[in-house]
Amino acid sequence: MRSNRFSSVAVAVTALALLVGVAAPATSGDATKDIVDTAVQAGGFTTLAKALTAAGLVDTLKGPGPFTVFAPTDAAFAKLPAGTLDALLADRAKLTKVLTYHVVPGNVMAADVMKLSSARTVEGQSIKISKDGGVKVDNANVVKTDIVASNGVIHVIDAVILPR
């Protein structure tokens, strides 16, 4: 049951982190507010809010963490093939798997990411981290970093990464 709750928290963190990322510059955030409050304050990320609601994870984001979220923007969600987002929103288990794939346990700041070639996600698989032509996680470019909240850190990415 603990593992399931951890996954739920991670999914929610991912989802709301998307709300935060685009609106905030690097090294921003409010270390006194959790990821939920930070996301609500940022506003403007309807895809994430919709995913979070569909996954039933809003309440879990108040957890202590810490979590590192590689958060895709609304534009990143729009790049998914036609029908993919709707299918995910209709399948809670698959949506959870995708969202937890964007979350790494612990506080992994940008300087730490630069030292890694991969990181194990809450979903259970590892994301590949590369630095050729900028920092990438799997196929997504990291476009903003170190958005700090009281229960984690957010790095914004320009594509939704999908577990294998």
| pLDDT tens readout for residues 113-147 | 999 999 999 899 999 999 988 999 999 999 988 88
pLDDT at residue number 147: 81
The tens digit of pLDDT for each residue in 46-104 reads 676 678 678 776 666 568 889 888 888 889 999 999 999 999 999 999 998 998 898 89
Q: What is the mean pLDDT of residues 6-28?
A: 40
- Over 80: is that where the pLDDT of 3 sits? no
pLDDT at residue number 101: 92
In 19-139, DSSP assigns E strands to: 29-30, 67-72, 103-105, 118-120, 126-130, 136-137
Position with higher pLDDT, 111 vs 122 = 111
The tokens for 49 are: 């809010």
Rounded Cα gap, residues 96 and 108, in angstroms: 21
User: What structural domains does the chain harbor?
Assistant: 2-157 (2.30.180.10)
Q: By mean pLDDT, which of 5-14, 25-34, 95-104 is the weakest? A: 5-14
pLDDT at residue number 26: 45
- pLDDT band at 36; cut points 50, 70, 90: low
Distance (Å) of CA 137 to CA 29, 34, 72, 118, 132: 22, 24, 11, 8, 11
Q: What is the mean pLDDT of residues 21-36?
A: 58
